[in-house]
Amino acid sequence: MLMLLLLVVAAAVIVRGGSATYCDDNLFHAAGKLHLSSSSPGVQFTKELSASEYGPLNSFKKLHCCGENYLSLEWFKDNRSYPWPSDVSSFILNPESANQTIYTRSLTSSDHGVYTCQLANHTNIVNHSIQLVTIDVTSYWGEPLPTYKIPNKHYAQPEDSVRLYCEGFVGKVGLPDAINTIKWTKIGGNQTIESNEKYKIVEVSRENDQVLGAFLFINKIQETDYGQYMCSISNTDDQIVQQFTNITKPVFNNEQLDDKKVHRDLKFIILVMLALILIVWKRRWLCLTFERLKTKLDNDKYTLSEKTVHNIIVFYDEDNKDNAQYLVKKMEHRDNFITKKYYIDFSEDFIKRHTDLVKGFDLAIYLLSSNDTITSSLMTKSSQKSFIQDSVPPKKYIIDCDNMPVTPTKSWCDRVLADLSTEHTKRNQNTTNKLFRVV
Q: What is the pLDDT of residue 297?
A: 61
Assigned CATH for 42-138: 2.60.40.10
For the whole model, what pTM was predicted?
A: 0.54
Under a CB-based contact definition with an 8 Å cutoff, are residues 158 and 222 in contact?
A: yes
Host H or E run for residue 244? strand 240-248
Assigned CATH for 145-251: 2.60.40.10
| 238: number of Cβ within 10 Å | 8
Q: What is the pLDDT of residue 322?
A: 78
Do 145-251 and 308-382+392-424 fold alike per CATH? no
Spatial separation of the C-alpha atoms in residues 188 and 82, rounded to whole Å: 48
CATH classification (class only), 308-382+392-424: alpha beta
Cα atoms in the 13 Å half-sphere on the side-chain side of 186: 13
Q: What is the pLDDT of residue 19?
A: 42
Q: What is the pLDDT of residue 265?
A: 86
Q: What is the pLDDT of residue 191?
A: 81
Q: What is the pLDDT of residue 256?
A: 61
Contacts of 74 (CB under 8 A, 6+ apart): 81, 82, 117, 118, 120
| 136: number of Cβ within 10 Å | 8
Q: What is the pLDDT of residue 169?
A: 94
Omega cis (within 30) before 393: no
Reference 202, options 29, 45, 38; nearest CA is: 29
pLDDT per position as a tens digit, 58-80: 999 999 999 999 999 999 999 99
Phi, psi values for residue 96, rounded to 5° = -70, -15
Q: What is the pLDDT of residue 5?
A: 36
pLDDT-flagged residues of the chain (< 70): 1-20, 29-41, 252-258, 296-310, 332-355, 358, 362, 368-439
Full strand arrangement of the beta sheet holding 337-343? 337-343, 310-316, 363-367, 397-399
pLDDT per position as a tens digit, 305-338: 445 566 777 777 777 777 777 777 777 666 556 6
Q: What is the pLDDT of residue 288?
A: 86
Domain boundaries, the chain: 42-138, 145-251, 259-306, 308-382+392-424
